[in-house]
Amino acid sequence: MTINIDSVFFTLVMAVLFLFFFLRTARKATVGVPGKFQCAVEMIVGFVDGLVRETFHGRSKLIAPLALTIFCLVFMMNFMDMLPVDWLPALWGKGNELAGHDPAHAYLRVVPTADLNTTLGLSMMVFILIQVFGVRHKGIGTFVKEAFTAPFHAEGTVMKILLAPANLLLRVIEELVRPLSLTLRLFGNMYAGELIFILIALSSGMTYVMAPLQFISGFVWTAFHILVITLQAFIFMMLTIVYLSMAAESH
């Protein structure tokens, strides 16, 4: 795992913007006729709160704020892909050139979720929360017991002992697959989307005949990619809620 400064920087920028706009809206919220941005924020909060109430069957004051934060932060990081693919990297390269450095080695990744390390970090935090929720809602004794007695249940001490290794193996695989799937799904979609934008941008330099085709393909892919970035943020949030709900329930 590598800590890339550009990914960390843009992640922090998106986090600060999220906190600034949502806290500002909450403090200036009015019971009268709300503004357009307050309406948008209220719709997002109500939408996420409704999903949490329907999906999470335990009791926790953390789930709804966590789900809201995940959805908005992942969406904002994904939305950086809507910027011109070479705009900020070109500015970064020019700044390095003016500073006397080689612009060819000035790398800048604008979309944090197109960095495998960012999505892995997010998924690892969800993985840790799953274990914490399991212990808090079931107790350490029941949590450990379920690892050896589910999904295969048996009557009798001998059969329970014989099935314990298989149950533990399946439990370990199940727990490891969750962060892995969260990591690769978000990273794969955003990385592929970024590559397609780059390929479309490169096609304009071939011939003047390709310019209209590039404009059309770029417009179509941008419109489709807006759906992709929203859907990926929703899926990451929804799976997090489902995993935490499963961790809080007893077999």
Omega before residue 103 within 30° of 0, cis: no
- DSSP codes of every residue in 147-193: HHHSSS--SSHHHHHHHHHHHHHHHHHHHHHHHHHHHHHHHHHHHHH
Q: At 147, list the tokens.
A: 């690892």
**If you search the block for the tokens 């932060």, which residue do you land on?**
73
Alpha carbon distance 45, 29 (integer Å): 13
Q: With contact defined as beta carbons under 8 Å apart, do 111 and 194 qualify? A: yes
CA distances from 168 to 145, 148, 150 (A): 10, 5, 8
Q: With contact defined as beta carbons under 8 Å apart, do 136 and 249 qualify? A: no
Residues serving a catalytic function are: 181, 185, 189
**Residues in CB range of 31: below 8 A, 6 or more apart:** none
